[in-house]
Chains A and B, each alone.
Chain A
Amino acid sequence: MPLRRIFAITSILFLAVLVVSPLKNALRPYRGFQRAFARLGASRAKSMQAAKAYQQQPVAIHQIWLPDFENRVDRCTTCHLGVQDASMAGAPEPFRLHPASFHTPKDSGRFGCTACHGGQGLATLEKDAHGEVPDAESPMVPLKFIESGCGRCHASEHVAGAATLSLGRVVMERNGCYACHTVKGHESFRSEAPPIEAVALKTGGEALRRWLKDPKTVDPNATMPRFQLSPSEIDELSHYVFSLASSRDLANRVQAASAEPAGDVAKGKAIFAEARCISCHTVEGKGNGSAPELSKVASRASAGWLLAFIRDPHAFNPRTRMPQFNFSADEARHVVAYMESEFKDFDAPKEILDPIRVNQTLAAKGKTLFRQKGCFACHAPGAEVDRLGPALDGIGDKRAASLDFGKRTDISRTLPAWLEAKVQKPGSFQDGLKMPTFTLSPKETQAVVTALLSLGAKPVPQPYRPVSAVRPSLLPGGTVGALMDRYRCLSCHQIGDRGGDISTAPLTAEGSKVKRDWLVDYLVLSFTIRPILTDRMPVFRMTRDEATQIAQAFETFYLDSGIPEDPYAGQPATSKDPVEGKRLYDTLGCRACHILGSGGGYYGPPLTEAGTRLKPGWTYAWLKGPQKWRADVRCPNYGLTDADALRLTSYLDTLVKSSTASKAKRGGTR
C-alpha cells in the first residue's frame, strides 16, 4: 500500500515538473519583447500588409550562425529585432535600427553582433548576454571602444570610417610603443629618438636634467614619456650621456659651425617663414605639432649644433622625420641667427647649455640605469633589438582574471578599464614598474585603448580579411628612392597605407593625378594649393633636375589603373565640349567652394589653373565620384553622366596658366 502511495505522489510530482518546463519557456523575456516588437512594428508600418507581416511573425529564437567565423552563433537578434529594419530608426531599445556605418546594418548577417560588440552570443537573457558576467570569455566592448571591432579584420594603419581606431594606431606609432612591445607587423619599427651618443653634442647638463625630469614640460610636442626618475638617477644618466664619445666627424661639424660668424636675424626670419617650418614644428603652440616646439629651442640646443643639424639632419639622426633643406651656407646661418635671437628661454640660467664634467662613477651607474629603464629601446636600437615589454599581440582577448590590478582597486575589473588605467598611469599599479608615463589626452587614451583591444588573440579567418585596396607600396629603390627619402616625403604624405598625416594629399595615385610639368614646377617652388590649410608643403630648394626625376618616378610608380590616361577615348566626340562644360560648371554651383578667376568659395582648391595642374583622366575620375578617392571629402558626388563629366573635364582642362596658354598657341606641347 505505501508503495502505491509513493508511486502516486511521484507521478503527480513528475507531472508538475513537466508542466513547469513549458511554462518557464513561455515566460522567457524574449517572447514579451517579440510581442512588443510586433505591436510596435504594426503601429509604425506604412501599409496594412506590412502591419500584418509584423503581427504574423512567429515568436521564436532568432540567430545568426557563422560557421566560417569561429563558428559564431549570435542570438542577439532574438530581442534586438529592429537592427536591420529601416522603419525602426529611432525606435526605443532594444528595437532600434542599428546606426549606419560601413558594414552596418546591412552586413549584420555576415559578421553577427559579437564580432564587434563582444558579449555572449548564445545567451537569450539580458543578464547573461551583456550583463556584468565576471571574467566572461568575451566581455562586452564599451561603446567608446567599439571601433576595435573594425581593427580585428582591418590591420592597416588607417581604416576609413574608423577615426578613433586610426588615431590610436597613429598615437601608438608616434609614441614609440612598438619600441618596447612586439606587435605583429611592427617588428621593424625603429624609434625616431636621436642616437644617444650624439646628445652631448647638442645640449647641456642642466638642459638635459630638465628634459629627463619631464620631457613634456620642456617641449609639449615631445614624444618621449616621463620616467619615474629620482634626482640622483637623473644625475647619473646625465653623466652617462656626457661620458659617451660621439663620432669625430659630427663633433668636428658642430665645432666648425659654432665658430662661424653669426648670420642676419631679419633674413633668417624671412627664410624661416618661407621654408614653412611650422608645417611640422610649432612656435608657441602655433603650427602642426608633430615635431618639436621651437620657441625655446635655443636654450636646449647649442648654436653650433643647430647650424650643423639644419644643414644635414640625417647625419645626426638617420631616423628623424625632418627633411633635408638645401639652404645655402649663408641661409642656414641666417636661420640659426634668427632662432638664437628669438627662440630662447629667457628665464633659464646662463649655464643651461654648459657640458657636464663627467664623474666616471656616476657615469657607470648611469650606464646600468640606461639598460634597466629601457632607454636603449628608443635611443640605441642597433643590432640588439630587444623588446623589453610584453608582446601586445592578443591583448584584446585577455581575460580580466589574468590581469594584475595591483593597487588599482578603484577601477572595474575589466580589460578595457585595466588598459585605460595602464595607458594613463602605468605607475599607479605598483611601485617599480618600468613602463613610463605617456601624457595622453583623454581622446588619445580612448584611441589607444581602441587600438589595443583590436589586437585579437587569433587572426580572423581568411574570408573576413579585407582585400587590400591600396598597395602597400613604399619608396621606390635607386636614386629616386634616395631623393624621396632625403626630402622625407613620407613624413607628411601617405603612400599606400603608410606615411604621415600632415598632408591631405596622398601620393598613391599622384602620377595619374597631376601633370608632370606642373609637378616639377611645384616641387621646385611649392605654393599653397588650398588656401584654408595651415600646414603647407615646405620649400626644399631642390634642383630642377631632382624635381624632374621625382616627377618622372611618380608617373611610373604612383598610378591608379582606375584613372584613364585619355578619358575621351571611345567616347562620342560631342563629349569634348568646353562650352557646355562651362555651363555645367555654373549650373552645378562649383563656385560655392572653388575659386575660379576672381570669384568663388574659399573651401576647395582654386581651379583657375586646373588644366595646368590636373590630368583630364583624374578630373574625370574625380567628378564621377570624389568619395572614391578621398572617403571624407566634402565635394559631393553629383551623379554626373559620363558625357557630362567629360564636358566638365574638357572645360576645366582649358583653364591653364597664361604663360602655358601662350606656349600652347605657339604650337608648344602640353
Chain B
Amino acid sequence: MKFRFQILGPILFLLVAGACSRHKAAAPAVPQPEAAPAAEAPVVEAPLSYELRLGKGVYQHYCQTCHGETGAGDGFNAFNVDPHPRDLSDPTFQKAKTDADLKDAVQRGGVGVGLSPLMPPYGKTLSTAQVDEVVLYLRTFKKTEP
C-alpha cells in the first residue's frame, strides 16, 4: 500500500498544482480615463496625444497655408484672401465656438455657416474622424505673447 502512495501521491500533487497554476492573476485593470492635465503645464513641451498628432497632421496639410502654423491666421496664403482667415488662437473666438460649431465650419465651409466663401468646405474631403481630430487640435491654439 505504501508503494501505491509513493506513486499516486506525487501524481496527484502535480495534477493539483498544475490545475491551480495560472498566468499572472492580475486583477483586470479597469482602465481609468486619462486624467485631464490639471495644471496648465508648459503646453508647448507636453507631447501630443495620438489623436492630437493626427489632428496636427491634417491641420498642417490642409489648413496651415491660410491659418498659419500657430492658428493666428497668418499663413503665407492669408494675405491674398480677403477677408483674412480667422485668428483661431483668439481666446474670445475659442470661447465663443463649441466643438460642434467648429466641426460644422470645417465640414460645410464658410458658405455653410454664413461666412466668407473663401473658407472651403472639407466635409466631403476629410472623414468625420479627421474633422474631429483637427477640431481637437484647434483647441490647443493659444495666443502667444504679442
Contacts and interface: CB of A to CB of B under 8 A. Distances in A.
Contacts of B104: none
Contact of B30 (A3, A27, A36, A588): A36
Contacts, number: 117
Given A601-B77, A634-B65, A637-B125, A94 B31 contact: yes
B33 A589 contact: no
A190 interface: no
B23 A634 contact: no
Interface stretch (B40-48, B113-121, B137-145): B113-121
A29 interface: yes
B31 to A, nearest CB: 4
B84 to A, nearest CB: 11
Interface stretch (A15-23, A223-231, A511-519, A547-555): A15-23
B62 A127 contact: no
B134 to A, nearest CB: 12
Interface residues of A, number: 51
Given A100-B129, A600-B80, A32 B121 contact: no
Interface string A621-641: 000000100001010111100
A371 interface: no
Given A33-B28, A587-B111, A636 B120 contact: yes
B28 A32 contact: yes
Interface in B22-59: 22-34, 50-51, 54
A638 B124 contact: yes
Interface string A604-621: 000000000000000000
Main secondary structure of the interface of B (DSSP, over half): loop
A95 interface: yes
Nearest to A105: B129
A562 interface: no
A93 interface: yes
B15 interface: yes
B120 A92 contact: no
A636 B122 contact: yes
B104 to A, nearest CB: 15
Contacts of A602: 76-77, 80
Given A17-B16, A99-B54, A587-B111, A92 B31 contact: yes
A639 B111 CA distance: 14
Contacts of B8: 6, 10
B1 interface: yes
Interface in A1-45: 2-3, 6, 9-10, 13, 16-17, 20-21, 24, 27, 29-33, 35-36
B115 to A, nearest CB: 10
B28 A31 contact: yes
Given A17-B15, A589-B116, 11 more contacts: A6-B1, A9-B12, A13-B15, A20-B16, A29-B26, A128-B23, A586-B117, A589-B120, A627-B125, A638-B120, A639-B121
Interface of A: 2-3, 6, 9-10, 13, 16-17, 20-21, 24, 27, 29-33, 35-36, 89-90, 92-95, 97, 99-100, 125, 127-128, 532, 586-589, 591-593, 599-603, 627, 632, 634, 636-639
11 contacts: A9-B12, A13-B16, A92-B32, A92-B33, A97-B129, A99-B54, A127-B24, A589-B120, A634-B61, A636-B125, A638-B124
A-B pairs with lowest CB-CB distance, top 4? A32-B28, A589-B117, A92-B31, A592-B118
